[in-house]
Structure formats: structure tokens, C-alpha cells
Chain A
Amino acid sequence: MIRARALTKAYSRAASAKRAERRPSEDTSAKRAERRPSEVSTGSDGGRTLLAVDGIDLDVAAGESFGILGANGAGKSTTMRMIGATLQRTSGELTILGRDPAHEGPVIRAHLGVVPQQDTLDTELTVRENLLTYGRYFGLPRTALVPRIEELLDFAQLQDKRDEKVEALSGGMKRRLTIARGLVNDPSLLLLDEPTTGLDPQARHILWDRLYQLRETGVTLVLTTHYMDEAEQLCERLVIMDAGRIVAEGAPADLIRTYSSREVVEVRFGTNRNSEVLPHLHGIGDRIEELPDRLLVYTDTGESDLQEIVARGFMPVTALVRRASLEDVFLRLTGRSLVDG
């Protein structure tokens, strides 16, 4: 479905400044682990080049659900737009559905479903009209679209909203409509760029349920997300991106096994005391990470390690023993300073 080798997208500094201006929200909610994409000098004019995507390799097989996980600015959306054949790569190889997007963009896009980060719906048209016009962009005949739209309205659970204007819909409904719109051409590959960002928990769960159902029907899914739980829920396999590079790849469970202990003890001693307590916990767990508000003890024996902490005379304000998650993998891999336990 997708094959990328040394895929790279570079922007000259001026061009990237324009992009930042257009999407101011991208940087504001930057995660603490965010790193700036690599900047390299170019030759003669002494200008700078921003490597939004810096030589990544990707392979996605048919029927897979594949995730690209990363903080804001890691290069996820840029990668997605190159895969979606709306952004040309600077260098490297890229094959989508067996074709090169540099030469066969329209043919590739005819078989893709794209769910962009922003809904980009026509709010003046009704739900049904949005699906109809979008199907027509692909040149699909009206006779084929009418029954297809009924299926999609069922799938998106929007039958009772079919003749309402889009501006009247909730955020979750708009998102489901955008996904339904991306399915109108019966794509073999569906690209979802941060499908649940900005939705409330209930709307997210409804959406996950819909995407699960899609997975079962054999549609290949590629999604970006900065939600670890979403990646664990939806992706069979994923890559973690940081500063335009892929820093890890694998199934969520394998990544957790490789990069984290089985369990994590989260203890809080109060904001100022965490770092005071830290030196006294030497020897507990495999390693300990200090966050601004808590200590994370990576271990395979959470309960007994917690007892050991208490036995050493440090009573945490709150304590939690949990299974390790992708969040822990992400923390480990994206260059956070780790403190040996």
C-alpha cells in the first residue's frame, strides 16, 4: 500500500514561517517533549532549510492499521500529506498503491480517503449534500452515489441529521461526517490526520468504535495521533516520530516491552519534594524518571516496589501502580532526560 525510503520534505525558512502563520494552533499546545525539527544550512545563500520530514522509511501492507505517533511539530501531518499526494517530497522514494505520487497524483488520490485535521466541510450545505458533492469531485455517477450515501449515513450514525445544515452539527458529528466523506469513493486506503483531536471523551469513543468497524471490513488505515491511548486502541503497528525522524517502530505491545518495564509506579510527594526524595530511592525499579509533578518508577514488580518506597520512610501524597503504556515509551524515546534508578 505504502512504501517510503529516505522520504524527506524540506522547507526553506521563509516557506515554513508562512506555514506556521497559517496554523497558529499547532505550536501553542506543544508537548513538553517537543523538539524543533532539524534545521540545516543550505549552500550558497547561507539560508536555512527546515527538514519537516527527515529521511523516513515506511511500509504499510494492505489491511493493516498503522499509526504515526508524535508530538505537535514532529512531522506527522507533513508525512500524511505526502502520502495523500497533496504535497510533493523533496527527496527519497515514495510509492502509494504501487504508484509514484510525483507522476500519478490524481490516479492515486482517486483511491484514497482523506480525513484532514480540520473538518473542511461546507457548512452551508446539508450533511447529505456534503457527501454528494464530494463524491462528484471524484466523478462518481449520481446513481452510484445515492445508495453509497445511505450506507455512509448509517455508518456515521447521521441518518436523522441527513438534511440538516452542517453548521448545526456537534464537533463529533462533523468529525464522523468528515470520515464518511473520506469513504465516499470506497477507498482502499484511508488516511486520518488526528481523527479525534478536540473531541470530548464520549465522541472519541463513538469514533473509535466506527474506526474499529472499518478495520474489520479490511480497509487499510493510516492515522496520526498524539494520543497514546488512541494509538494503542486503533493501531496494530506504529512508528513514533520526533523532529522529523522515526525513532521507533513496532506493535504497541512490542514497543512497550522493548522500551519500558511491565509496570510503572507513579508517586507524588508534592512539587518540591519529588527531587528531594529521588536520591533516596536508589535501587528501586529498573529506572526512575522525574517529571515536574511526579516520579515514575519503571519496574516489573510495582506493588512490592511501592511497599519498599514506603518502607524507606517516604509516604507519597498519591501513589498508583499501573501497566506501562505507549506514553512511557514515548517519554523514553523523545529525548527526555532520564534519571537512573
Chain B
Amino acid sequence: MSLTAPASFRVAEYRLRSMWKWRNSIIAFGVGNPVLYLVSIGLGVGALVDANSPDGVTGVPYLLFLAPALLATAAIQAGQDEVSFPTLAGFIWNRLFFAMRATSLSGGQIADGVLLAASVRIIFTTTVYWLVLWAFGAVDLGSALPLIGVSTLAGVCWGAVALALTSRAKTDSTYISVMWRLVIMPMFLFSGTFYPLAVLPLWLQWIGWISPLWHATELGRWLSYGAPLEPWQALLSTAYLLALGATGLLLGRRTFEARLTA
């Protein structure tokens, strides 16, 4: 790993240069997205929820309950975008990865570099998102590092999963529609994002248990306002995210190299 690191940095350098071309959209989306969610759901739905449950959701105002989930969602979706689009481009649209593999780079180094650059985007997105949350009074100043940290972890680990999945995609349109409709949206809706997971019938709760978003949200609520979480649960959730990320990266690297040398 220590030997391959510099080479993957060079791939990340290219990815960041490419991302820089999209900086206006990235910034606009990074700020616009949380503002829209907070105004519509945080404040709008929140007013309704809080009016009907004076004790709040699990004991806190809805906005506080929602904030860590939204932050983790933003991180995961940033990871998904920033990994899957460059990967589809590299394998299908302009086949640039094949040109990169003709240099001294290996497939694994290209995979590492893509994830590394996506991590930079994830940190940026979560930081901006946290700032907007803070401006809306949804998080405390003290929660900055732990919340941004845990969301980034979730985003990067999901990015690694996306790396493994996207690198297997044969066609872009199928991949995009399947991923967004059957993976990202259900994850967003059924991971205890808008209400505690326990509210769902048991036969739907498994979506949350396997969802990195739910684990990140549980950790986030604990770190943000001290929602009850047993230490073993915190450990388990962290370990789950790390395991997901490690598996994704390992499989992703392998598929990259195999596909570029087939």
C-alpha cells in the first residue's frame, strides 16, 4: 500500500483537475441541496411533527433528529456520484482508464485514485452541509469534527462499494437506473432517515440494518445530541462501515485490473 500510494495520488490529481471543471455545480449543489432539504423537510415537516409530539422525536426537536441523517445521506450520495460517473467514463464513455493502464499505472492504483479524489469531494460536501446545518441551528458547534468525520467515513466506505459495483457495469443506462432506483433511493427512504427505524414493520427493518446510511445515522445522532447508543453498537456500526469499505475497495481494485487487462 505504501508503495502504491504515490501512484494513486497522481490519478487523484487528474480526477481533482477534472472535478475542478465542475466546481460551480459542485458548490451550487453542495449549498443548495442542504438548504432545500432543511427548509422543506427540516422546517416544514418539522413544524408539523413537533406540533404533534411535544416531547419531540426520541426526545429532541425534529430538526436535530433529522440533521445527522441528512448529513450522512449527502456524504453517501457524493461518494456514489464521484465514484460512479468517472468510472463509467473511464470504462465506457471515453475509455480513459484503458489509456491510463497503458502507462506505468496498475488497475488497482487507478481504483485507489478515483476513491481518493472522491474522498476529497465527500469531505468538501459534508463540511459545507454541516455549515448549513449549523446555520439552521440543527447541530452544535462542538459536533463539527465527529459529525463530519463519521459522515465522511460513511461516504468513503460507500464510495468503495460503488467502485466495486460500477466497475462491473456493462452499460451505463442500466447501471444508473438500477443503482439509483433500487439501491440509493430505498437506502435513503428506509434507513431511519426521517423517522426511527423501529417505527417500520420488522420485515422492512433489515434494509436499515444492512444500510451504511442507517449505521452512519445512528452514530451521527449519538455524536450530535447524545442519542442513546450502547458502546458495542457504536463499535459494531463503525466496524460494519469499515468492513463494507474494505471489501468494496478490494473487489473494486480486482475488477479494475481484470477489466483493463482482459
| Chain A positions near chain B (C-beta within 8 angstroms) | 15, 18-19, 84, 86-88, 105-107, 109-110, 112, 114, 116, 118, 120-125, 129, 133-134, 136-139, 181, 185
Contacts and interface: CB of A to CB of B under 8 A. Distances in A.
A110 B106 CA distance: 11
A110 B18 contact: no
18 contacts: A86-B98, A86-B102, A106-B104, A109-B102, A114-B99, A114-B102, A116-B102, A120-B96, A120-B99, A121-B94, A122-B94, A122-B96, A125-B17, A129-B17, A133-B14, A137-B14, A137-B104, A139-B104
Interface of B: 6-7, 10-11, 13-14, 17-18, 21, 94-96, 98-106, 260-262
Contacts of A109: 102-104
A88 B261 CA distance: 7
B90 to A, nearest CB: 9
A124 B19 CA distance: 10
> Do most interface residues of chain B lie in helix, strand or loop, or is the interface mixed?
helix
A277 B59 CA distance: 100
A121 B95 CA distance: 8
A237 B231 CA distance: 72
Given A106-B106, A109-B104, A124 B18 contact: yes
Nearest to B99: A120
B103 A137 contact: yes
The 6 closest A-B CB pairs, nearest first, are A114-B102, A120-B99, A137-B103, A110-B104, A133-B14, A106-B104
A105 B106 CA distance: 9
Given A118-B95, A125-B21, A84 B104 contact: no
B116 to A, nearest CB: 14
Nearest to A112: B102
A218 B38 CA distance: 65
A168 to B, nearest CB: 14
B154 to A, nearest CB: 29
Contact of A86 (B17, B21, B101): B101
Nearest to A111: B104
A139 B13 CA distance: 11
B261 A138 contact: no
A84 B261 CA distance: 11
B103 A110 contact: yes
A110 B103 CA distance: 6
Given A87-B262, A125-B18, A137-B104, 14 more contacts: A86-B101, A86-B260, A109-B102, A110-B104, A114-B99, A120-B94, A120-B98, A133-B14, A137-B11, A137-B100, A138-B103, A139-B6, A139-B10, A185-B103
A11 to B, nearest CB: 9
Nearest to B13: A136
Given A137-B105, A139-B10, A87 B261 contact: yes
A87 B7 CA distance: 21
A19 B6 CA distance: 32
A135 to B, nearest CB: 9
Contacts of A107: 104
A189 to B, nearest CB: 12
Nearest to B100: A137
A87 B262 CA distance: 6
A266 B17 CA distance: 57
Nearest to A166: B94
Contacts of B10: 136-137, 139
A332 B228 CA distance: 83
Nearest to A15: B262
Nearest to A182: B102
A276 to B, nearest CB: 50
A237 to B, nearest CB: 24
Contacts of A134: 99, 103
A84 B17 CA distance: 27
Contacts of B14: 133, 136-137
Please indicate which of the listed interface residues B18, B103, B105 has the most CB atoms of chain A within 10 Å of its own CB: B103
A106 to B, nearest CB: 4
Given A84-B102, A125-B21, A137-B10, A19 B262 contact: yes
Which of A106, A107, A120 counts the most B-chain CB atoms under 10 A from its CB? A120
A246 B104 CA distance: 29
Contacts of A120: 94-96, 98-99
Contacts of B18: 122, 124-125
A181 B100 CA distance: 11
Q: In the complex, which of the residues B10, B94, B102, B105 has the most CB atoms of chain A within 10 Å of its own CB atom?
A: B102
Contacts of B261: 86-88
A136 B16 CA distance: 13
B260 to A, nearest CB: 7
Contact of B21 (A84, A87, A116, A124): A124
A137 B6 CA distance: 10
A269 B14 CA distance: 60
A87 B107 CA distance: 12
